[in-house]
Structure formats: C-alpha cells, structure tokens
C-alpha cells in the first residue's frame, strides 16, 4: 500500500502529477491547498480564516491545517493508500502526520526558479481547480474550462509578491522535511519536473513501479 508525499515548489506540477499518480494507483490524492480553496468557495468559517494567509502566500496556521488533514484521513477511501500534495509543509505538520499515519514513499519534483516564474505567469485555473497553461496546456477554448465550461482565471496567490513568499517558505521550511524522511529510511524519488506533463508522469510511474 502506498502512503506517499509529493514534494515540489509551486508550479512544479505537484497538483497535476499527484492527481495523475493517484488515478493510476486507484487511491485518493489529498491536496490541502485544494481543500482550503473548497472551503473558501463554500464561504465557511475555516475558508474565511485561511483565505487571508493564502492570498499573501503564507502558510495557513498549523492547527487549522492539521485538523483538516486529520478529518480527511478518517475517511474510508484512504484505507487503500493516498498521495499527499502540499502537506506536510513544515516540521509541526510532519509531526502531526507521524501521529496519524505512516509514510512509506516520498517523491520530489524539481524545477529551476526561471522555469517556475515562466510557468506561473501562464497558469489559469477554473473555480473547480482544473489547471491549464496558456502555453503548455491550453484549454480548447481560450479562457474556458474544458471540463465544466467555467471561466478560467489566475489564482489570487500568484502575484509576484506572494510567489516570492511561497518560494522562500518552500526552501526554508518544506525542503528540510525531505532530509527528515531520508533519515527515517523512507525512499526519496527525485524527478525532474521540467519536461511535459506526460513525460513527467511517465517518469513518476517508472520510479514508483521500481520502488514497488
């Protein structure tokens, strides 16, 4: 059974690749960012609290994040395994995860800063979090989601300032977790995130099959 974490800076394809991997393995992808965006859309108290942090590119407080994950891990579908996307992002969250479940695989998508900026400037999302890119993954009709026909827009947290904050947090607080799992003897599969979505997915599958 696979209990995986997919690490990677923003725009590395974490969301897309975790969904593709989870689909291929028949297990859920768990994205804390997506769960927060869902709460914001529904106008819940949690969503209102999370939104200000997210728009600044900062981390949502650990108590809120850990609570949403605890809740998610209590659902039946995770009994077959899961892939985390965007969690844990710091040591406190990794501690919380240790007390809830046992990770047995980590994947790291790598991407240069130049490529991160290039990708983010063309990124568009629909209200249901389907992701496109004006250059690399354009929708059939410009500005409209292929799946639900809803309008595409840029994410609020993809302003230059928020991008800078998120990259710094990733480097300072999230990447040390990779070492932490390495020290625990958990396999780390490092994958170049710069090729096309299909090619990165093929590399991810190859690495995961080799691990299995």
Catalytic residues: 14, 89, 123, 155, 166
Q: Which is nearer to ligand AMP, 129 or 210 (CB)?
A: 129
Report yes or no: 1 and 80 within 8 Å, Cβ to Cβ: yes
Q: Residues 5, 104: contact at Cβ < 8 Å?
A: no
Dist CA 128 CA 79 (whole Å):
25
Q: Does 89 bind ligand AMP (CB under 6 A)?
A: yes
DSSP string of 44-108, one letter each residue: -HHHHHHHHHHHHTPPPPHHHHHHHHHHHHTSGGGGGEEEEES---SHHHHHHHHHH----EEEE
Q: Is 124 in the site for ligand AMP (CB under 6 A)?
A: no
Output 93 or 203, the one with its CB closest to ligand AMP.
93
Q: Contact between 10 and ligand AMP (CB under 6 A)?
A: yes
Of 43 and 185, the one with the shorter C-beta distance to ligand AMP is 43
Based on the shown chain and the rule CB under 6 A, indicate whether residue 57 belongs to the binding site for ligand AMP. yes
Nearer to ligand AMP, 3 or 166 (CB): 166
What is the side-by-side order of every strand in the sheet holding 2-7?
Answer: 29-31, 81-85, 2-7, 105-110, 188-192
Q: How far apart are CA 37 and CA 22, in angstroms?
A: 20
Choosing from 82, 87, 132, 181, the residue that interacts with ligand AMP (CB under 6 A) is: 87
Told to check if 33 binds ligand AMP by CB under 6 A, we report yes
Residue 119 found at the interface with ligand AMP (CB under 6 A): no
Neighbours of 40 (CB within 10 A): 18
Q: Is 32 in the site for ligand AMP (CB under 6 A)?
A: yes
- Which part of the chain contacts ligand AMP (CB under 6 A), choosing from 49-57, 118-126, 140-148, 194-202? 49-57
- Which residue ranges make up the site for ligand AMP (CB under 6 A)? 10, 32-33, 36, 53-54, 57-60, 65, 86-87, 89, 93, 157, 166
């Amino acid at each position: 059974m696979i209990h995986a974490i997919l690490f990677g800076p923003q725009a590395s394809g974490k969301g897309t690749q975790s969904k593709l991997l989870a689909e291929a393995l028949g297990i859920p992808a768990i994205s804390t960012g997506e769960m927060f965006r869902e709460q914001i859309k529904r106008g819940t108290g949690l969503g209102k609290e999370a939104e200000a942090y997210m728009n600044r590119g900062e981390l949502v407080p650990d108590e809120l994040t850990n609570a949403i994950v605890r809740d998610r891990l209590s659902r039946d579908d995770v009994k077959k395994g899961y892939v985390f996307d965007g969690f844990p992002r710091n040591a406190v969250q990794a501690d919380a995860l240790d007390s809830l479940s046992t990770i047995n695989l980590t994947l790291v998508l790598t991407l240069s800063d130049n490529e991160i900026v290039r990708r983010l400037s063309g990124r568009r999302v629909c209200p249901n979090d389907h992701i496109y890119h004006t250059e690399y993954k354009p929708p059939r009709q410009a500005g409209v989601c292929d799946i639900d026909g809803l309008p595409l827009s840029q994410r609020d947290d993809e302003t230059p300032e928020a991008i800078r904050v998120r990259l710094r947090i990733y480097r300072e607080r999230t990447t040390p977790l990779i070492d932490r799992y390495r020290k625990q003897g958990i396999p780390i599969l490092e994958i170049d995130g710069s090729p096309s979505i299909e090619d990165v997915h093929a590399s991810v599958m190859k690495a995961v099959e080799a691990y299995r």
